Structure 1
Amino acid sequence: MKSLLTQLYAREPLSRQTAYETLSRVGNGEASDMEIAAVVSAINMRPAVLSEIQGFRDAMLELSRPIDLGGRQSIDIVGTGGDGKDTFNISTLSSFVVAGAGHLVTKHGSYGVSSSVGSSDVLQSLGVPFTHEEDALLAMLDRAGICFFHAPVFHPAMKNVVPVRKSLRVRSFFNLLGPLLNPAKPTHSLLGTYDRQVARVYDYILQEEPDQQYTIVHALDGYDEVSLTGGAAVRSKDRQKILQPEDFGFSQLRQEDLYGGSTVEEGKKIFLAVLNNESTAAQRDVVCANAGLAIHTIHPERSLLDCVATAQESLASGRARGVLNRLLA
């Protein structure tokens, strides 16, 4: 580990194989908390490196519990977190809206670490069960149109990292890995990141997966999703563009419009308000913008505005709320 840290402190990039071996050692319990903290801190000091993210991802997927969807096509809507914006659970709500529109969603997420309320926090507060049992998850998916992969259940080796992440309370390369680690390897993904360089790294990685259809979004003012507070850089296999709020059919929002509260109970309250059509217009619009972009990822032949309209109808009709009801049934 000493030579590894020397290399990292010299800002020398790790090869894919070295990164794989490093995280495998961490996942197998062969590194102390102090060594893990040193590695995390060193990597945090510089921009994301493609070979490192590839190697870390290789190790995490090898150590994870896989899920076989049996040929079902699905989408994951997930962000890195760590943008420091304290928004409500936009990507998770967007997942319910997309499922309400008739598309299978296999959502991967975890507890908030660098933010107050993560997807697992709010879903657990609502009574959504966490399991790694494949039959139970597929039954949820078929019944409700959505199932949730709670990251700690599917990546048990990362229990060795949890104490360090909780004590540091800052974003790290584990935030960057999260969107790339869905154990079901869904056919479609909408991935959000707070950093434009990370978006490029994601693009390079996903370009190597010919069966994966994806959209990567980075809000130019630092959100890890479409925020409608300004422009968003969007890239997929065959296009790159900047989308403005009006491209989604909405007006520009303010940062305070997206505040998600500081407790799980506050996050839960906003979550239910959106699904019950009792939220603010800003909360509704930003959810529909992200859900619309997800639907557009599945149906690129349709216009973005048409996909946003589908998302709005899913929410307004109560079908998105029905997804939650069936998930809890």
Structure 2
Amino acid sequence: MTLLTTHNPIRPLPEATASELMHIFIDQDTDALLVGACLALLAQRVPEAHELAAFADSLFEVAVPFPQAPHGAIDVVGTGGDGASTANLSTLTALFLPTLGVPVVKHGNRAATGVCGSADLMEALGYDLSRAVSDLEADLLERRFAFLFAPAYHPLLGRLREIRRRLGIPTIFNLLGPLLNPGHPPLQVLGVAREELLAPMAGALARRTRLERAFVIHGKDAEGKGLDEASIEGPTTVVAVREGRVLAPQVIVPRELGITQPDRHALRVADRGEALAVARGIFGGAGHAEFRPAVADAVALQAGLGLVLHQGGSLDGLAQIFRDLRAALEHGFTLPFPMTGVQP
């Protein structure tokens, strides 16, 4: 316990200290109140890239391994913590991209502080969260999609779930989740809830040796509040990571893509039931009673970023890609996995 009592967690941690601290967090013998207090302290400042990378590396050391994702595979994920209670845009995008020929290795969990986590939605759609590794490999080959349920690969983090729930605030683990995909996909679209997180998250991704390209994104809603996704209401800042380098930020504006201002509550969901209904609407297309045009806009925008990344192109072509994908969503799409008990 010397580390926690003699080192001020508010100051940046050396990499070795960050690594040691993470091992203390996941040690079953560490007092939960002490872990909670330390997480609360860490939440008071923006972590640095080297700290995030060290934390993630320590967790990979004790993770259950998964085979390397195939060439061109992508993960689309957000840190959460924006309080916007939007539909599961990253997950819906991850389900849409395989229909465009993009392999997806989606890593996710149940909601810790939000309304509906990616795993909550996947389970509601009839996806078996306990699928064996061999089945997931076959899914990637045959269907271009696999969902890796975080607790199956990071079991030592289970004890922290209740601590995080009781704290009721975003913690360092909201930031680490997107860095812990056991499939190590070479591509990633990663949304952050706060603008000041763009640089450290991009820097942490740049340190991942198996990552080829990424977009770290931060959107603003109509009132200027931060979103951990590309926004259809306000500007979105995009920081590209390419072959270990963090590039200069770029900004995309909805009106320049032809996106009209939506109703301010068009993307919001109140509970898991509504999140599932919104998902059904997207799968069913414009003819479905639950189809929300604004959600289709948002999914098309996230998917457009994923497709640009997959193709190795630039944001200059995003407007046309967005229009094409938005038109495709009018017709709905088939999920890249068999559902049980729930129909779209």
TM-score between the two structures when normalised by the length of structure 2 = 0.88
Give the letter for the 2:48 counterpart: V
Q: What aligned pairs does 1:41-120 form with structure 2 within 5 A after superposition?
A: 41-69=40-68, 71-120=70-119
- Partner Cα distance (1:70, 1:34) in 2: 37
Correspondence for 2:124: 125
Question: Are 1:294 and 2:306 matched, yes or no?
Answer: yes
SS in structure 2 at match of 1:166: helix
Return the offset for 1:133: 2.8
Correspondence for 1:306: 320
Return the offset for 1:195: 1.4
Return the offset for 1:83: 0.8
- Partner Cα distance (2:328, 2:265) in 1: 25
Return the offset for 1:138: 1.0
- Partner Cα distance (1:289, 1:72) in 2: 23
Return the offset for 1:73: 3.0
Question: Are 1:251 and 2:265 matched, yes or no?
Answer: no
Return the offset for 1:324: 4.3
- Partner Cα distance (2:90, 2:340) in 1: 17
SS in structure 1 at match of 2:107: strand
Q: What aligned pairs does 1:172-191 form with structure 2 within 5 A after superposition?
A: 172-191=171-190
Instruction: Give the unaligned 5+ runs of structure 2.
Output: 242-246
**Percent pairwise identity:** 26
Question: Is this contact kept in 2: 1:101–1:311, CA < 8 A?
Answer: no
Correspondence for 2:244: none
Instruction: Give the unaligned 5+ runs of structure 1.
Output: none
- Partner Cα distance (2:340, 2:145) in 1: 7
Question: Is this contact kept in 2: 1:97–1:311, CA < 8 A?
Answer: no
- Partner Cα distance (1:304, 1:71) in 2: 25
Question: Is this contact kept in 2: 1:94–1:288, CA < 8 A?
Answer: yes
Give the letter for the 1:280 counterpart: R
- Partner Cα distance (1:327, 1:185) in 2: 28
Most deviating of 111-120 and 240-249: 240-249
- Partner Cα distance (2:324, 2:312) in 1: 14
SS in structure 1 at match of 2:227: coil
SS in structure 1 at match of 2:233: coil
> Of residues 229, 241, 252 in structure 2, which corresponds to 1:225?
229
Correspondence for 1:321: 334
Return the offset for 1:259: 0.2
Question: Is this contact kept in 2: 1:215–1:234, CA < 8 A?
Answer: yes
Change (3 A) 1:126 1:158: same
Question: Is this contact kept in 2: 1:81–1:194, CA < 8 A?
Answer: yes
Aligned length: 326
Return the offset for 1:15: 1.1
SS in structure 2 at match of 1:216: strand
Question: Is this contact kept in 1: 2:70–2:185, CA < 8 A?
Answer: no
Give the letter for the 2:329 counterpart: L
- Partner Cα distance (1:285, 1:304) in 2: 13
Change (3 A) 1:106 1:328: farther
Correspondence for 1:7: 7
SS in structure 1 at match of 2:334: helix
Change (3 A) 1:328 1:208: farther
- Partner Cα distance (2:312, 2:114) in 1: 32
Question: Is this contact kept in 1: 2:278–2:292, CA < 8 A?
Answer: no
Question: Is this contact kept in 1: 2:107–2:150, CA < 8 A?
Answer: yes
- Partner Cα distance (1:38, 1:204) in 2: 27
- Partner Cα distance (2:304, 2:340) in 1: 22
Instruction: Quote the RMSD (CA, aligned, Å).
Output: 2.2
- Partner Cα distance (1:95, 1:286) in 2: 13
What whole-Å deviation, never above 9, does each CA across 1:38-97 have from its counterpart, x for those lacking one?
A: 111110112222332122111111111121146443000000011110001000001111
